[in-house]
Amino acid sequence: MSPLAALSIILVTVLAMEGVAWASHKYIMHGFGWGWHRDHHEPHDNMFEKNDLYGIVGAAISISLFAYGRWGNSGAGWEPATWMGVGVLIYGIIYTAIHDGLIHQRWFRYVPKRGYAKRIVQAHKLHHATLSKEGGVSFGFVVARRPEALKADLKRQREAGLVTLRDSEV
């Protein structure tokens, strides 16, 4: 496979992973997988959360793609899977740096004052404004809508009785 084809597969996979992450967050983590995700929405002083198990699932997917790229397809391997595994790995690194590092400040303290970093932090704070798995906004991890639009969505959800907000966040 040419280096350009491999790079293309990696980039498409990284971009597609935001959609996969959004859907997984909305329909799995805030659905039947709430048992693992709940503690992420609750205050605690623990270094780890059950929610961190989702990172292990992501790593297992990446490793499985690497393995299939090497040994899958009746032992012959399927090279594109290797590059898809690299894309999943890169998305995981980006997610970890932004979500765990910047947003939740698990490793460093930095409060962005403007730009993309401020927007992504605000969007995630609005995601955490809800008290339960129902309703909510901003299920993506790297792409975020404007905070004003998210606040309006939360306000509509609250007025419709679909969601309870923490300390009247909106």
Residue whose C-alpha is closest to residue 54's, from 83, 91, 86: 91
Look at residue 44 and tell me whether its pLDDT is greater than 60.
Answer: yes
In degrees and rounded to multiples of 5, residue 146 shows phi and psi of -60, 140
Residue for token digits 């590092």? 101
Show me where the domains of the chain are located: 1-110, 113-170
Segment 111-151, tens digit of pLDDT: 999 999 999 999 999 999 988 899 999 999 899 999 999 99
Segment 57-93, tens digit of pLDDT: 999 999 999 999 999 877 789 999 999 999 999 999 9
Higher pLDDT, 23 or 165: 23
The pLDDT mean for the chain works out to: 93
- pLDDT on residue 169: 54
In degrees and rounded to multiples of 5, residue 165 shows phi and psi of -105, 150
Segment 95-111, tens digit of pLDDT: 999 999 999 998 888 99
- Which residue type occupies 137? V
- pLDDT on residue 21: 96
User: DSSP letters along 92-161, please?
Assistant: HHHHIIIIIIIIT-SS------SHHHHHHHHHHHHHTTBSSSSS-S---SS----HHHHHHHHHHHHHTT
Residue for token digits 């998305």? 91
Q: Is the dihedral of CA 157, 159, 164, 165 positive or negative?
A: positive
Q: SS3 of 165, please? A: strand
